[in-house]
Structure 1
Amino acid sequence: MKILRYILFPIMQIYFFATWLRNKLYDLGIKKSISYSFPVICVGNLSVGGTGKTPMIEYLIKLLKDDYKVATLSRGYKRKTKGFQLGNKTSNAESLGDEPFQFYNKFKNDIHVAVDADRNNGIKSLQLIENPPEVVLLDDAFQHRKVKAGFNILLTTYSDPYFSDVVLPTGNLRESRNGAKRANIIIITKCPENLDKATKENILAQIKREPNQHVFFSTITYSNTIVSENTSKIIEGLKAFTLVTGIANATPLIDFLNSKGLKFNHLNFKDHHEFSQQDIDELNKKELIVTTEKDFMRLKDYKSLKDKLFYLPISVSISDDTKIGELIKHFLAN
């Protein structure tokens, strides 16, 4: 794979120029971005792959839902519907996409959850619903520059930071590193616990942040229990099980489970994998299945798996979360 990426280096230069030109046209106002009179917060990244956008959106929901009417707006990747869709009691992973359905399943009594590939149409449609939102959280929209978000949160992983990468197809960046300048907040995600001061200072030096930018470090916190629709189990007491993942990077989860001394067989699928009947038939043979919350959203409607399917909840811990809350609420107040 690495050899192929180097072979594709000439294409990288073309991709770099195309994305640079597109961004320049937006910066100069030749291509138009629409801004809104109410707060729009964008969460995104520069790279392909999992940087932790879903838990970050959930972090923001918890931060804001008690004081504001909140809506999330996602593309709804791999859903089987078109256009604008608003989460309701008939929604599922096929109609909303797995991650938006996860938001709906968890926060349906607190927020609106919507999907639309055209983010401007999605925002306008949200404003027409009964009890419209006061704040819109855009999920994975950092490159969607047709919308001019009032506040941008850029995520990059500790193990594969954008400042050490190059654009596709040689690297993993969707656009050049220079795009990070659009961010109000940069969060280094999936950091080891107790990251030392010297390492943080080294990362800050490589970021070369703008005067108006703030950098935070976050870690993934795994629950001590696995959860099904009806019950839960303490993780330390688990016997051998099957781990099922359809996410961009399962390594942190595997490392956590190994650190607990657990015995499991790992079935690793590509990100947003659509489970076939053959997959389900194979899973029916397993006694206990542990998966991610996102994958649980796609699997939970299979009745044959109901008594054996569990997910491991995760949350995000952010360094100086008081400060990040103050920055976001200051934006909302102004």
Structure 2
Amino acid sequence: MNVLRKILFPFAILYGFITTVRNFLFDKGILKSTSFNVPVIAVGNLSVGGTGKTPQIEYLIRLLSDKYKVATLSRGYKRKSEGFVLANATSNAEILGDEPFQFYQKFPNIQVAVDANRTNGITQLLSQNEKPEIILLDDAYQHRKVKAGFYILLTSFDDLYADDFMLPTGNLRESRSGANRANIVVVTKCPSNLSNEKQEEIRLKLNLTCSQQIFFTFIDYDDEIYSKDEKIAVSEIKKEPKILLAGIAKPKPFFDYLKNETDECLTFPDHHHFSDADLEEIQKKAQNKKIITTEKDYVRLKDSNLISQLYYLPIKSTFIANRQNFDATILEFVKRVV
């Protein structure tokens, strides 16, 4: 914790008080939450920063979209459009935001929508001729104007909410007690060989209620990188000089998976909109080398002048154990509501 964050501690206390009062008003029904007669699953976190929401949403899409009509609803962070937007063939990352556009590109059999007002967004989705049977709310844990039927709370292995504090001293958007709303807590970005003893230690630290389930996942990187025309094995690409580029919250694991001692790593802010000056600087540094980026960054860069050199590395969320129990819990909830 840096000095400035320590100085701002009184503001963290005030912010925590405000969010606690807000949650109390929603819990008591004084502030209105809207429920819907379709299964609504909210995925989010207590903290700012990357906890792996995108791969978790994609896991749910793969689990559910073969059996049900699925829609995702996101805020569309840093998009240049306003209000409710339903993705179509003319959409791009500037209209939808990078993560929703990634969903739209990867899963053509689902509906992808964005709206900062989640209540309006769900209402609009349900007014479509082909209305969804399930709605996945991306990054909506604190959006309490919608009462989801099921809440999945994510927390990173190396940054557990139990070890954190309220903004601006820490990174929590609300107090740790907000975890009590979760049906499931997923500890993300774990080592793939996380021991049972360490899992039990984390269970005890998070102090979940008897009705809550906990699962542990790790980020599983693809064995190949992809461009618009080809794919190359990671084992091959690791050997050659290249540029690694990331505009995500925590890029170190991505860099570590691909880099060798000759590579240059370029880091940009999360959800960064690449300017012409950025692109010119990247191209100058790359020269004739391949540029490998994250899948989220690729959707923002694929229409740029970097495309002939540009590749991306897909990731997915993989359960260390008990995946079948997670799947069964989600499917049981959906069947109760549909």
CA distance in 1, matches of 2:31, 2:156: 30
Give the equivalent residue in structure 2 for 1:297: 299
Matches within 5 A, 1:96-245: 96-108=96-108, 110-238=109-237, 239-245=240-246
TM-score normalised by length of structure 1: 0.97
CA distance in 1, matches of 2:258, 2:96: 30
CA distance in 2, matches of 1:315, 1:123: 26
Q: Which amino acid aligns with 2:198?
A: T
CA distance in 2, matches of 1:280, 1:257: 21
What's the CA shift for 1:252?
A: 1.5
What's the CA shift for 1:308?
A: 0.5
CA distance in 2, matches of 1:112, 1:263: 42
Give the equivalent residue in structure 2 for 1:326: 328
SS at match of 2:308: coil
Cα gap change, 1:262 to 1:232, in 2 (>3 Å) = farther
CA distance in 2, matches of 1:322, 1:65: 17
What's the CA shift for 1:83?
A: 0.4
Give the equivalent residue in structure 2 for 1:26: 26
Give the equivalent residue in structure 2 for 1:312: 313
Alpha-carbon deviations, 1:90-147, whole Å to 9, x = none?
A: 0000000000000001002x10000000000000000111211000000000000000
SS at match of 1:307: helix
CA distance in 2, matches of 1:39, 1:263: 49
Q: Which amino acid aligns with 2:300?
A: R
SS at match of 1:146: coil
SS at match of 2:311: strand
Cα gap change, 1:321 to 1:262, in 2 (>3 Å) = farther
Matches within 5 A, 1:248-267: 248-258=249-259, 261=260, 263-267=262-266
CA distance in 2, matches of 1:328, 1:69: 15
What's the CA shift for 1:262?
A: 6.2
Alpha-carbon deviations, 1:19-41, whole Å to 9, x = none?
A: 00000000111001001111000
Unaligned stretches of 5+ residues in structure 2: none
CA distance in 2, matches of 1:257, 1:292: 11
TM-score normalised by length of structure 2: 0.96
Matches within 5 A, 1:263-282: 263-282=262-281
What's the CA shift for 1:205?
A: 0.5
CA distance in 1, matches of 2:104, 2:24: 36
What's the CA shift for 1:255?
A: 2.4
Q: How large is the RMSD of aligned CA atoms in angstroms? A: 1.0
Q: Which amino acid aligns with 2:334?
A: L
Alpha-carbon deviations, 1:47-95, whole Å to 9, x = none?
A: 0000000000000000000000000000000100000000100000000
Runs ≥4 residues deviating over 3 A: none
Unaligned stretches of 5+ residues in structure 1: none
CA distance in 1, matches of 2:280, 2:256: 28
Cα gap change, 1:290 to 1:262, in 2 (>3 Å) = farther
CA distance in 2, matches of 1:24, 1:89: 43
CA distance in 1, matches of 2:217, 2:323: 9
What's the CA shift for 1:246?
A: 0.5
CA distance in 1, matches of 2:196, 2:322: 14
